[in-house]
Amino acid sequence: MSCCAPGTESAIELNEVSQVGPSGEEHKLASKDCGNGLRQTDLSVPGVHCGGCINTVEKGLKALPFVTKARVNLSTKRVSVVWSEDGDPAQIITTLHELGYEAHLFDYSGESEDKTLSVMLRSLAVAGFAAANIMLLSVSVWSGADAATRDLFHWISAMIAIPALAYSGRIFFRSALNALRHGRLNMDVPISLAVILAFAMSLYETMNSGEHAYFDASVTLLFFLLIGRTLDHVMREKARSAVKGLARLSPRGATTVNPDGSSAFVAVDEIRAGMTILLAAGDRIPVDARVVSGASDLDCSLVNGESAPQTVSAGSVVRAGTLNLTGPLTIEALAPASQSFLAEMMQLMERAESAKARYRRIADRAAGLYAPLVHLVALLSFGGWMIVSGDWHHSLYIAIAVLIITCPCALALAVPVVQVVAAGRLFENGIMVKDGAAMERLAEADMVLFDKTGTLTVGNPRLVNIGDINPDTLNIAAELGTHSRHPLSRALANARDGMSKAMPDFDSFTEHPGAGLEAVRDGVTYRLGRADWALDNTGPDSAPSNGADRGQTVLSADGRFLAAFVFEDRLRREAIATVAALQNQGYPVEIISGDRAGAVSRLAESVGVSSYKSGVLPGEKSSYVARLGETGRKVLMVGDGLNDAPALVSAHVSMAPATAADVGRNAADFVFLHESLATVTSAISISKKAGQLIRQNFGLAIAYNLIAIPSAIFGYATPLVAALAMSSSSLIVVLNALRLRIGARKNDAIESRQPEDGVDAPEYGAATAEQGR
């Protein structure tokens, strides 16, 4: 079995169907805006199938002056290219063509039919049929047929072998020829050379009425190689079932309402922001949208992991991939499918599969040295046996065995197949990971820091002193709160529900991370946030004159106190059990929060954490994490807010909930979708297990080479045995990786002993409007 399995056969389809690359304008329209004058384009490159191909493509694209980043995903045959807007994107396609790779825009919807598997199965069937018939003729020859009969059977075998090798061997031959045409080597070159040499040697013997022909060996060798390659392809597709499952959650299209009131069915890729969509009960939501009219229950388990349906009505925001259960809805698209929540999750999964972690870089470098070394070893084996025996038949036979058995497929598969399976297991536990290198870093973490609001707590606070606040003042605070995603801001905005008094717009608005919100209207400056920031005559060491705590949430007008707000929040499900499990595993656990000391102290006591820091500003969080790193600590930071972003970046590895601010999710290495905090321990457990399996795979690959290569060199392995050994080594590595998927999943998560409604601790009074707690 070869690590280049899923790509080489794609070359067949590319030769059967003319591929025309996108124009520069089409290329630009299909790209995504990355900010700072950069855009990203995802291209499908079916011909990529080994470490050498990855290195060739990435180096070739990075050589373009306007390309800042190029990364190949071997599992999806996709290359992501980040390029400057002042460049010509058509040159990217041209460069790939010059390197010998066809390319076209990547289709996120996935294939409904596995055409690659169909091609491989047909090739396997032809090779098997031919091998069986040639073997029958060979048995007759071995049984003592006379010279005339022997020659006849050899010619019949040749006539069967020629079309079988031409049809079934094209998977290897075209890939090898394409590599040689562009001045490089890949893993299919020695395999093709071995098959062709075995056939050529047999044909030479047949033409000269020789006693021995090896048509059975050449065709049977091809048959075994195809068995291994097909199994490899099937197992890789099995490992990627999580990503394919996500792709299947996206509908092919939706019914949209035209400006004239008529309706039409539109492909999901053609849906744009602002389009009105009609959904019937049982339909999946195609893009992120807002409900315009109607009410229904949605299955949102994909988003939040909860099996209970979620009720939505006019004004509710719904996510792509969720299922409309009970009633018709009219929704307005907020973004195209390529920018939806579902597409973001698929891209995170694929990014995790293609990441260049330390182990993967080692495997790629080793596989890159393979092609020249294997040819050298085969040549030396041939020369050595010629010197020793003088029999060129036997010497060539051994050289063929060496060419096959030295394929480093097991080594090349050791890391990526584990990354694919691990990313799928994390997704099943409600965790999205940005890259495989993050899993490696998470396994190395030796300390955990938690933010408070929105991380240890659900971040869904409730205003409890609404009766003590003047309605006009509450209306101003609620209007300010609508401009922020901070949980306390949302709580204030929700507290105004039912109040119909219209408010004029603010003249300007600013959000200050770690402090609060500031807006100006009619020359009056309003501040909603920490009292020591919002009020005059209050510094970091003094309390407000009105008696409010310095960290309490207040509203001020030109520095004058207007109102103080008190909130209640609750712990995330399994927060106490998660902290206890981490401590039992030997992790020091700390809480670091911008909230006031009293609230942080009560929370720390309830979850069993003795070390905590309160009133910490965003820069101080980042500095503290950096100092821990300088002392040798490898910190896992779990946070969700705007002010956590610097700390998330500074940490050795980081996690954030899906409800976090955009900047927090973008800064984190992992994003967990469920409310339960047990996902933290699940991620650590899966990452550690993945690291163990990678090391085991390296050990298996090294042991295989230490045994197999000397066996072939010294003549103990025939080409057929070599083909079986090479295929078996890859199969063992893939099966070992799949243990992560079929293992006991109950060990990945904490068994909760707390109520199902998630209230595992008393609610806490929170009095802060700092952005990120």
Q: What is the C-alpha separation between 134 and 137, in angstroms, rounded? A: 5
Residue count of the chain: 773
Q: 221 in helix, strand or coil?
A: helix
Pairwise CA distance, residues 480 & 519, whole Å:
7
Q: Long-range pairs for 267-275 at CB < 8 Å and ≥24 separation?
A: 268/109, 268/337, 269/109, 269/336, 269/337, 269/338, 271/333, 271/336, 271/337, 272/333, 272/336, 273/333, 273/334, 273/335, 273/336, 274/332, 274/333, 275/332, 275/333
Structure tokens that stand for 453 in this block = 């609001």
Distance linking the first and last C-alpha atoms of the chain: 53
Contacts of 16 (CB under 8 A, 6+ apart): none
For residues 154 and 361, what is the distance between their CA atoms, to the nearest angstrom?
A: 48
743 burial via Cβ count (<10 Å: 0-12, 13-18, 19+): middle
Q: Which of 188, 451, 549, 640 is catalytic?
A: 451
The DSSP string of 25-41 is: HHHHHHSEEEETTEEEE
- Would you say 461 and 568 are in contact if contact means Cβ atoms under 8 Å apart? yes
Which helix or strand (DSSP H or E) is residue 155 part of?
helix 147-168
**H or E element in which residue 91 lies:** helix 90-99
In one-letter notation, the amino acid at residue 544 is: P
Handedness of CA 637, 642, 647, 653 (dihedral sign): positive
Could you tell me if 431 and 670 are in contact, meaning their C-beta atoms sit under 8 angstroms apart?
yes
Instruction: Report yes or no: 160 and 216 within 8 Å, Cβ to Cβ.
Output: no
CA distance 14 to 103: 10
Structure tokens at 555: 């509203």
Residue of 745, 750, 709 whose CA lies nearest to 729: 709
Q: Cβ neighbours of residue 467 under 8 Å, at least 6 residues apart?
A: none
What are the angstrom distances between the C-alpha of 430 and each of 426, 475, 579?
6, 38, 19
Task: Return the biggest CA–CA distance within the chain.
Answer: 115
Our answer to whether residue 451 is catalytic in this structure is yes
Q: By C-alpha distance, which of 339, 485, 369, 358 is closest to 414?
A: 358
Q: How far apart, in whole angstroms, are the C-alpha atoms of residue 460 and residue 573?
A: 13
Q: Which residues, in sequence order, are bridge partners of residue 330? A: 278, 293
- Using CA atoms, how far residue 146 sits from 138, 142, 710, 770, in Å, is 13, 10, 38, 95
Interatomic CA distance for residues 744 and 739, integer angstroms: 9
| Catalytic residue positions, numbered | 451
